[in-house]
């Protein structure tokens, strides 16, 4: 017996809405970044908190071993990018920048998704 249109649409919506959460052991969180901005901007600093999906244990170990260096590289790159922009960069730009910066330094895998959990321009 065929389903009517209302039932099909309801099933499609459910499948689109239901997503599997990322397991906590695959989520890696950096402490917040506080990035000062040049004085001529409309804001003084950025506060940014991020986490990202780590697909394997080897990559997680590499990030843990090199966290200070990776944080420094991300900080420097964000400060450089924010300093040359006249506007606040979009979250997509920031996430792509962070992902690219991490991935060029990692050898045991790649970060596919960066999540911004807090973003303030003060």
| pLDDT at res. 43 | 78
pLDDT tens string 33-54: 999 887 666 778 889 999 998 9
| pLDDT at res. 22 | 60
Specify the range with the lowest mean pLDDT, choosing from 15-19, 51-55, 111-115: 15-19
Fold for the domain defined by 21-121: Tetrahydropterin Synthase; Chain A (3.30.479)
Query: How many Å apart are CA 61 and CA 78, to the nearest integer?
Result: 24
pLDDT > 70: what percent of the chain?
75
Structure-token pair, residue 108: 């045991």
Query: How many Å apart are CA 79 and CA 74, to the nearest integer?
Result: 8
Distances 77 to 8, 11, 44, 63, 81 between C-alpha atoms, Å: 48, 44, 17, 18, 6
The residue among 19, 48, 22 whose CA lies nearest residue 111 is: 22
How many angstroms separate the first and last alpha carbons of the chain? 60
């Amino acid at each position: 017996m065929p389903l009517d249109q209302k039932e099909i649409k309801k099933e499609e919506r459910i499948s689109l809405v239901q997503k599997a959460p990322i397991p906590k052991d695959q989520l890696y969180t950096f402490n917040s970044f506080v990035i000062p901005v040049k004085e001529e901007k409309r804001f003084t600093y950025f506060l940014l908190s991020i986490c990202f999906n780590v697909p394997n244990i080897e990559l997680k170990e590499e990030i843990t071993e090199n966290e200070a260096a990776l944080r420094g590289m991300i900080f420097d790159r964000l400060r450089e990018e924010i300093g040359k922009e006249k506007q606040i960069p979009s979250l997509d730009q920031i996430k792509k920048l962070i992902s690219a910066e991490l991935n060029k330094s990692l050898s045991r895998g790649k970060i596919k998704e960066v999540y911004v959990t807090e973003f303030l321009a003060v």
